[in-house]
C-alpha cells in the first residue's frame, strides 16, 4: 500500500467514525441544530462541501449563513445559502464548522486570522452534543 492509499484509507476511516457518531447522536434524540441553539450559535459557516458537509448544511437549516469550499467556483450544489471560496471576504458568523475533518488543522490555520469567531471540527461538535 502506497502513501496515497494510506491517506485515503485514513480519510475514509475518519469519515466512517464521524458518521457512526452522528448516527448515534441522532438515535439518542439529540441534534447538532439543538446543540448549537443551546449555545447561541445562530449564524453558522460550513467549510467543506463533501457529502458530509452537504448533510450538515441540510441539518443546520436556518442557522446556515454560508458554506465555503476550495472548489466553490466549480460546484453545483443545492444548498440554501451563499457559497464562497475560503479566500473570499466572508460574512460575520457565530461559528465555523469544518466538515472535512481530515483537513481540520490546516483549514483552521488558513482561516483563523481572517474571521472573528470560533472554528471547530464537525467531530468536536458531534462529540460535545452527544455528551450533553
Nearest CA to 95 out of 70, 127, 72, 63 is that of 63
34: domain range? Answer: 3-131
The domain that contains 116 carries what CATH number?
A: 3.40.50
pLDDT, averaged in runs of 10, over the chain (132 residues): 68 90 95 97 95 94 94 74 90 96 91 94 95 72
- Residue 48 CA to residue 131 CA, distance in Å, equals 25
Res 3: pLDDT: 58
Question: How many domains, the chain?
Answer: 1
Residue with cell 482561516: 111
pLDDT at res. 7:
76
As beta bridge partners, residue 45 has: 66, 96
- 3-state SS string for 27-61: HCCCCHHHHHHHCCCCCEEEECCCHHHHHHHHHHH
- Say if CB 110 and CB 85 are below 8 A apart: no
pLDDT of residue 78: 76
Q: What's the confidence (pLDDT) of residue 41?
A: 98
Q: With contact defined as beta carbons under 8 Å apart, do 52 and 15 qualify?
A: yes
Residues with Cβ within 8 Å of residue 6, at least 6 apart in sequence? none
| pLDDT for position 115 | 94
Amino acid at each position: 500500500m502506497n502513501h496515497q492509499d494510506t491517506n485515503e484509507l485514513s480519510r475514509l476511516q475518519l469519515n466512517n467514525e464521524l458518521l457512526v457518531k452522528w448516527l448515534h447522536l441522532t438515535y439518542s434524540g439529540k441534534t447538532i441544530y439543538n446543540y448549537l441553539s443551546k449555545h447561541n450559535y445562530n449564524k453558522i459557516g460550513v467549510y467543506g462541501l463533501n457529502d458530509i458537509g452537504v448533510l450538515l448544511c441540510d441539518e443546520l437549516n436556518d442557522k446556515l449563513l454560508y458554506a465555503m469550499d476550495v472548489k466553490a467556483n466549480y460546484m453545483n450544489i443545492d444548498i440554501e445559502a451563499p457559497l464562497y471560496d475560503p479566500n473570499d471576504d466572508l460574512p460575520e458568523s457565530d461559528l465555523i464548522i469544518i466538515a472535512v475533518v481530515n483537513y481540520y488543522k490546516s483549514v483552521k490555520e488558513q482561516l483563523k486570522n481572517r474571521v472573528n469567531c470560533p472554528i471547530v471540527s464537525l467531530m468536536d461538535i458531534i462529540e460535545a452534543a452527544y455528551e450533553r
